Amino acid sequence: MEQQPEQQKTADGPAPAVPAQEAPPVEAAGEAVDDATAQDGPALPDRPAQPDGPAVLDRPAHPDGPAVPDRPEALPETAAALPDKPAALPETPAAQPDRPVALPETPAARQETPAAPPDRPAGPPVLGVPRHSGRKPPSYPPGPQGRPRVADGNASAVLPDTVLDGAAYGPLTVRAASVRGDSHRYLGEPRQDALTLAALGEPGAGELLMLAVADGVGSRRLSHVGAYLACQIAAWTLDPWAGEVYEALAAGRADRFAEVADQTVERIATRLQHTASTSGGDPAAYSTTLRVLLVPLDPGVRTRGLFTVGDGGTALLRDGRWDLAPGEPARPAREEADSGMIDTRTAALPLARTASARLLTTRPGDVLVLSTDGLSSPLAGEADMREFLGSAWGGGTVPEPADFLWQFQYRVKSYDDDRTAAVLWEALP
């Protein structure tokens, strides 16, 4: 690009313009600059020295022109500054030893984070295998084993191994469970016990809560069906009589309650016999025991009615002490000519047609246990079991259903029958 003529200023005025044809060639540009500096006029400032000039001024005007003196002089300064950077490198490794020193502190801090009690195992909480009496557990495995086969009977094949139930009405709380016994689990046989909780009558005054447990006689082929039907028929029969039963309990009329109990047992026996006859079977094949507890939901009535057929148990836990036979029978069971006795020497439906009835009076804080002999027998014969269940159920707090089931399965050697119970807590005011 051609250079335009410039006007130089002097003290007296502008300098005369230089003719364009007399401008020095590009090759002599450097000499023209040197000549200009030798004149008396003020020297032009050194372009490379201008701090705020564009970076392109540092470059030579032509490849053959002289090198700009400032850039070679700056190179040694840059090289001299380079050792300062390596000098900083040792500081970085010098600081690194501090990091390994801090590393052991990190695992130690992580170990302190859980802050769990030393006796709490790692992982989710579990109840584990039920407790047992004695130094060694029973020889049977503690959980469900083989299932009954469908070919052995439709009813037995679909019965659950374990049933857990419950209810709560104001100050009354119920926990109930039925578990197949160790021997039945091991042999793949059905659970022959049955359990029913039912609300009887119309809502309001006169409403009752029914707790029923039944134990099918082990030597009878369809006893599990008989136990299941006995509990159901008891609820269906007593529901229309709920108001009458409530009045008998509120008035403390044991005689009237006994009449209702006998009528109920008679109807259950009749229905079981009808079931056997329609299927062409033997009524004794449905043999079962039965225990029924009727509880008014009215908190002002403290009397409870109990009627039973055959063995089993009713226990009262009061103030930390067990009473395994609370109350006295209102009257002994009236046995028929054939006595209703079968292989196990216990009265059983449908051959037995009368009930043993009694009234029980409870108070706040009591715990009533209605059970088959799978629980009542070891409870009577094993002090460790009474102590364990007494502490679990008699502390004034109703256990949660899962906790109740685990407590209920406390194991005792040689007691491997099905186990069923309905437990009633009477709350403190």
User: Is residue 348 predicted with pLDDT exceeding 70?
Assistant: yes
pLDDT tens sequence across 293-305 = 999 999 999 999 9
Answer yes or no: pTM beyond 0.85: no
Kindly report which listed range (89-93, 149-153, 254-258, 377-381) carries the lowest average pLDDT score: 89-93
Q: Assess if residue 34 is contained within a domain.
A: no
User: Is residue 62 predicted with pLDDT exceeding 90?
Assistant: no
Mean pLDDT for 47-62 is 45
- Cβ(69)–Cβ(33) below 8 Å: no
* Coil vs helix vs strand at 250: helix
Q: Assess if residue 103 is contained within a domain.
A: no
Pairwise pLDDT comparison (80 vs 129), residue with the higher score: 129
Mean pLDDT for 96-114 is 50
Mean pLDDT for 115-140 is 79
pLDDT of residue 250: 97
Q: What's the structural domain count of the chain?
A: 1
Q: How far apart are CA 277 and CA 284, in angstroms?
A: 11
pLDDT tens sequence across 320-338 = 999 999 985 544 555 444 4
User: Is residue 49 predicted with pLDDT exceeding 50?
Assistant: no
pLDDT of residue 327: 83
Q: Assess if residue 347 is contained within a domain.
A: yes
Q: How far apart are CA 391 and CA 246, in angstroms?
A: 33
Q: Assess if residue 329 is contained within a domain.
A: yes
User: Is residue 402 predicted with pLDDT exceeding 70?
Assistant: yes
Q: How far apart are CA 321 and CA 30, in angstroms?
A: 122
Q: Assess if residue 53 is contained within a domain.
A: no
Mean pLDDT for 274-287 is 93
- Cβ(223)–Cβ(287) below 8 Å: yes
pLDDT of residue 219: 83
Q: Assess if residue 272 is contained within a domain.
A: yes
Closest alpha carbon to 268 in 347, 202, 154: 347
Range of the domain at 414: 150-426
Q: Assess if residue 50 is contained within a domain.
A: no
How buried is 298 (Cβ within 10 angstroms: 0-12 exposed, 13-18 middle, 19+ buried)? Answer: middle
Kindly report which listed range (80-84, 100-104, 382-386, 415-419) carries the lowest average pLDDT score: 80-84
Q: How far apart are CA 21 and CA 7, in angstroms?
A: 16
Q: Assess if residue 383 is contained within a domain.
A: yes
Q: What is the CATH number of the domain that holds 231?
A: 3.60.40.10
- Cβ(361)–Cβ(303) below 8 Å: yes
User: Is residue 222 predicted with pLDDT exceeding 50?
Assistant: yes
Three-state secondary structure readout of 158-197: HCCCEEEEEEEECCEEEEEEEECCHHHHHHCCCCCEEEEE
